[in-house]
Amino acid sequence: MAWATYQAQESFCDFFGLKLFGTCYLHALAYLLAPGMVWRPTYYPSLFTRFENLVTAAKEYHIEVPDGFDNMVMQRPLPEHWSEREKFLTSLSDDALQQNVGDIIDLAKAIIKEIGIQLPSNKTANEIVERFFEKTVPCRGKVGLANILNAAWKFIGQNEVWAGYAQMRHNERKCLMEIVLKAIEILEIEERVGITP
C-alpha cells in the first residue's frame, strides 16, 4: 500500500538523519515541528509516532536524546473530516510501520556504515564548545559538520558562558550563529585543500 510505503520512507529519512547528525537532528526537528499541527497527512506517520520512533532509534544508535524530547508532542486523534476509509487505511499504514520500524532503523544504520561517513562524536562536540566557542572563535582542524552543529546546540543550553563578553552576551544567539557559519566555512576550505587534522 502506497501510504505505508510513504510512512516507511519518511521514517527511514528520520533515522538516516539521526544517525548522520546525532543529537542535533533531534534538536532541529523539535525546534521546527514541536508541538506539531492538529492535522496530519494520511501518508505520513503522526508526529507523535515520529518522535517516539526516533527515541527508539537513538537508543539503538547510542545517541543522546535531549531532555523532554519524547514529551514535546502529543498523540492526537485522527481528523474528524477524514472518511472511514481514510481512517481505516491510515491505521493499517500505522500498524505496518510499527511492525517494521526495527528493520528500518537497522537499514539506515547499515547504509551509513557501508558509505563510511564520519559520524558525530559527543566528545568532539564537547571539545569544540570548550576550545573554540567559549573563546568566541570558530573551530578548525576538520572536525566534521555534524560535530560543529552538535556543539552549537550544546552551547545554546549553557548559561553565562560568555559572561565576560558583555556585547556578545546580549546578542548570544546571533554571535553563535556567526561563529558556527565561520566554522563551517573553515571546514569547507580545509576539505577543498585537503587539510587533515
196 has pLDDT over 60:
no
pTM over 0.75: yes
Tell me if 139 sits within 8 A of 96, measured CB to CB.
no
Domain ranges of the chain: 2-115, 122-193
Within its chain, how far is the Cα of 122 from the centroid? 14
Residue 110 identity: A
Q: What is the three-class DSSP state of 182?
A: helix
d(CA 38, CA 57): 25
Angle at 66 (CA atoms; ends 104, 150), nearest 5 degrees: 85
Q: What is the pLDDT of residue 107?
A: 96
Q: Express each pLDDT in 90-99 by its tens digit.
A: 888 889 999 9
Question: In which band, very low, low, confident or very high, does the pLDDT at 164 lie, cut at 50, 70 and 90?
Answer: low
**Helices marked H in the chain — which ranges?**
2-21, 23-33, 47-61, 84-115, 122-131, 145-156, 166-170, 172-193
d(CA 70, CA 93): 22
Range in 9-18, 69-78, 154-163 the model is least confident about: 154-163
Question: Which cell numbers hold the place of 133?
Answer: 566557542
Angle at 139 (CA atoms; ends 134, 141), nearest 5 degrees: 145
163 has pLDDT over 90:
no
Burial 57-94 (b: 16+ CB within 10 A, else e): bbebbebebeeebbebbeeeebeeeeeeeeeebbeebb
> For all residues of the chain together, what is the average pLDDT?
84
Tell me if 176 sits within 8 A of 155, measured CB to CB.
yes
Q: Express each pLDDT in 106-158 by its tens digit.
A: 999 999 999 887 788 878 877 887 788 877 788 877 688 888 898 888 887 66
